[in-house]
């Protein structure tokens, strides 16, 4: 895949039950996903919602890497929540270009040095992630989350992804 997009989304849980890590309800989980331009899911991660989006970026990208295959994204688009020094450094080591707008909200002073560039036309193609999340919402067992264990929830996600890919290819 040449251009991919990533994002996270909160997954509400069914009222009155416990989450997969044994905590009482009221806490939510979030899903991190990496998709290609056609909204095909390449990797999917579930984590507690108290983790920031940028902390879920690296595990999501590592879940996509297959040892025998050299295919990796060339460009990854993400929203301003992923504007972190660690993410930029990690992608530079992997040889991946990133298209992340600068998050002005957390900049107290202007950053010295070369400015970060983001392509607004390429950023518009990040809507593939939003299309993926809207397609998963069509499956009523996924949102809100009814499954208590992570492995059964991930099984539902994989089944939903199989149906989505079948619709696109069929």
Percent of the chain with pLDDT over 90: 0
Cα-to-chain-centroid distance, residue 168: 20
Helix (H, G, I), strand (E, B) or coil at 56: helix
Residue 153 is encoded by which pair of tokens? 């929830």
Q: List b or e across 105-136, with b for residues whose CB sees 16 or more CB atoms inside 10 angstroms.
A: eeeeeeeeeeeeebeeeebebbebbeebbebb
Q: What is the pTM of this model?
A: 0.77
Cα(11)–Cα(29) distance, rounded to whole angstroms? 5
pLDDT tens digits along 122-146: 888 888 888 888 888 887 766 666 6
More reliable by pLDDT, 151 or 147 = 151
pLDDT tens digits along 92-113: 888 888 888 877 776 666 666 5
């Amino acid at each position: 895949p040449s251009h991919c997009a990533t994002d996270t989304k909160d997954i509400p849980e069914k009222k009155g039950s416990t989450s997969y890590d044994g905590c009482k309800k009221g806490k939510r989980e979030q899903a991190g996903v990496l998709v290609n331009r056609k909204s095909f899911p390449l990797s999917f991660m579930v984590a507690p919602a108290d983790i920031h989006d940028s902390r879920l970026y690296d595990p999501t990208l590592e879940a996509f890497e297959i040892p025998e295959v050299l295919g990796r994204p060339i460009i990854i688009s993400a929203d301003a929540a992923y504007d972190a020094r660690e993410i930029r450094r990690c992608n530079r080591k992997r040889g991946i270009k990133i298209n992340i707008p600068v998050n002005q909200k957390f900049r107290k002073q202007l950053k010295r040095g070369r400015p970060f560039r983001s392509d607004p036309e390429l950023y518009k193609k990040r809507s593939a992630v939003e299309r993926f999340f809207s397609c998963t919402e069509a499956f009523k067992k996924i949102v809100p989350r009814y499954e208590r264990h992570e492995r059964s929830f991930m099984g539902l996600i994989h089944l939903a992804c199989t149906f989505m890919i079948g619709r696109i290819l069929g």
